[in-house]
Amino acid sequence: MNEPVGALPGRRVWSVGALIAAVAEVVDSGFGACTVRGEISGFNRAASGHCYFNLKDPEGGAALRCAMFRRAAQLAGWLPREGDAVELRGRLAVYEPRGELQFVVEAMQRSGAGALYERFLRLKALLEGEGLFDVAAKRSLPVFPRAVGVVTSLAGAALHDVATTLERRSPHVRVVVYPSLVQGAEAPAALCEAISAAAARNEVDVLIVCRGGGSLEDLWAFNDERVVRALRSAPMPVVSGVGHETDVTLADLAADLRAPTPTAAAELVAPATRPAEEQLDANALALGRRMHAGLEREAQRLDRIALRLARPGEGVARRGHGLDLLAQRLAAATRRELTRRVATIDARATRAHTLLARTIALHVGRVESAAIRLQAVDPSRVLARGYALLRDADGHAVSSVAGLRPGQPLRATLHDGDAGLEVRTIHPAAPAA
C-alpha cells in the first residue's frame, strides 16, 4: 500500500492517487471473482469492441458501472438489450484515472427478461390488443403544414435540434412549443397535459413529441399508458422522435409516424422550402411562356379575321357561288335518286307479277289433282259398277257374315235407290289354306 504524503503531525493526509490506490488494493483483495445479477441499462458498444453499461438493481436505485472488454464480448456470443436481466461473472476494480468503482465482466449469461422490460412487454401486448398500434388507424401528415407543435423539454437538446432543422428547411413554418418534463415520475402527467393543451388550442397542423436518447429508465415516461392514449386521442397527426434510432417506446408505436431522432422528426413534418420554391419558379416560367405563345396565336387569328372582314363582298360572292354549286349537286342527286327508286319499283313489280302467276298455277294444279283423287273415292261411282251397301236395322254397315242370322232384315243401297232384304241362308267362306 502506498504511504500517505504530506502528513501533518497527529493527522494522516492522503494524496488523491494514494487514496484511490489504497481503495483499489482493498477492493482487489476483498473481492476476487464474484457473480452479480441485475438489469442492463445504458448499454454501449465502442468501435474498439469493448462494451460499457450499467448493471441496475431492479428492486432499488443502486447501479454498478461495468466494462466488458472485446474478448469477453466475443466469448459471450450475444449482446444484451436495454432492460435485460443478466448474471455477470468477473471482478470488482477501481478505475484509478477517475476513481470510479467498476465491475470488469469476464462472462455474461441471460437471467430472463428484466422486470422493467417485462412490464414494457405486458403493457405493449395490452395496448396492442386494444388496437392502439393498428397501422390502419395511422393518419397521413400534411404535405405543407403552416404550424408545427413540439412537445419536449425546454432544457433539452431535442428542442434546439428541431427548431434548427425547421429554420433551415422551412423557415416560413411557425413553431409552437408545449413545454413538458420528459423524464422522471412526473413526466407522464406533464406530457399528457402538453398534448391536451395542443389539442385544445388547435393551432398546429402536426405535433412532434420528442426528446434525446437515454436508457430504458430515462425513456420510461414515453412507455406510460396515459401518454399512449393521449397520443392516439390527439386531433392532429403526431410524429414521435424519442431517443436514438435503436430506442423504441410505446409512444413510437402509438404515433402516426415514428422518426429515429428529433432531427429526423423535424425533417419529416416539413418539406424543404428551397426545392418547392424552385419548382414554383419553373412552373411560373412555363406558364408565362404558354400565355405568351397563346396570345401570339390568337393575335394572328384576329389578323386573319380582320383581313376577311375588310372585303365582305368577296366573302358574300364566294358563299353565293358555293350555294349555287350545292343547289346543282342537290338537284342532280335528287334526279338520280328518283330514277333509281322508279327502276327499283318497276323491277319489284315485275318480280311480284311473275311470282303471283307461278303461285296461282301451282294452286290450280293442286286443286285439279285433289278433285281427281276425290272422284276416285266417290261411293256413288262404286255402286254404279254393280256394288251394293248393306246395313242392318240400326243402320250399321254389314261387312261380315259373322254377325248375321237367318231371317234378319237388311237394307241394300244401290246406285239408284234402296231395297229391303231378308237373310235366308248364311255360307261363311272357307278359311284360306
User: What does the pLDDT read at residue 82?
Assistant: 81
pLDDT at 418 over 90: no
On whether the CB atoms of residues 376 and 368 are closer than 8 A, the answer is: no
304, 264: one domain: no
> Is the residue at 45 inside a domain?
yes
In a domain, 323, yes or no: no
- Are 151 and 266 found together in one domain? yes
Q: Is residue 167 part of a domain?
A: yes
The answer to whether residue 367 sits within a structural domain is no
Residues sharing a CB contact under 8 Å with residue 45, sequence separation 6 or more, in sequence order = 51, 73, 79
Domain boundary among 218, 242, 271: 271
| pLDDT tens, residue by residue, 358-369 | 999 999 989 988
Task: Label residue 268 by pLDDT band (50, 70, 90).
Answer: very high
Count of structural domains within the chain: 4
Would you say residue 426 has pLDDT above 90? Answer: no
> pLDDT digit string (tens) for 108-132?
887 754 567 778 888 889 998 999 9
Range of the domain at 409: 382-422
The pLDDT tens digits of the residues spanning 177-190 come to 999 999 888 999 99
> Residue 390: pLDDT band by 50, 70, 90 thresholds?
confident
Residue 57 pLDDT greater than 90, yes or no: no
- Mean of per-residue pLDDT scores for the chain: 85
Q: Is residue 134 part of a domain?
A: no
How far apart are the C-alpha atoms of 62 and 49, rounded to whole Å?
Answer: 26
Counts of helices then strands in the chain (DSSP H, E): 11, 13
Model pLDDT, residue 206: 95
353 alpha carbon, distance to own chain's centre: 75
What sign does the CA torsion over 202, 255, 166, 162 have?
A: positive
Task: Using a cut of 0.75, tell me whether the model's pTM lies above it.
Answer: no
Give me the CATH number covering residue 247: 3.40.50.2300
| Co-location of 155 and 250 in the same domain | yes
Please report the sign of the dihedral spanned by the C-alpha atoms of residue 367, residue 372, residue 378, residue 380: positive
Query: Do residue 40 and residue 94 come from a single domain?
Result: yes
Has residue 217 been placed in a domain? Answer: yes
Pair 205, 283 in one domain: no
Task: Name the one residue in this structure whose C-alpha cell is 400534411.
Answer: 142
Q: Is residue 395 part of a domain?
A: yes
Confidence of residue 60 (pLDDT cuts 50, 70, 90): low
CATH number at residue 66: 2.40.50.140
Measured CA angle at 347 (ends 345, 349), to 5 deg:
70
pLDDT in tens, 228-262: 999 999 999 999 999 777 778 899 999 999 998 99
Task: Tell whether 388 is covered by a domain.
Answer: yes
| The pLDDT of residue 10 | 59
Point out the least confidently predicted range of 121-125, 263-267, 373-377: 373-377
Confidence band, pLDDT 50/70/90 cuts, at residue 202: very high
**Is residue 412 helix, strand or coil?**
strand
Q: Which pLDDT score, from 0 to 100, does residue 1 have?
A: 46
Query: What does the pLDDT average to over 294-318?
Result: 78
Whether 373 shows a pLDDT value over 90: the answer reads: no
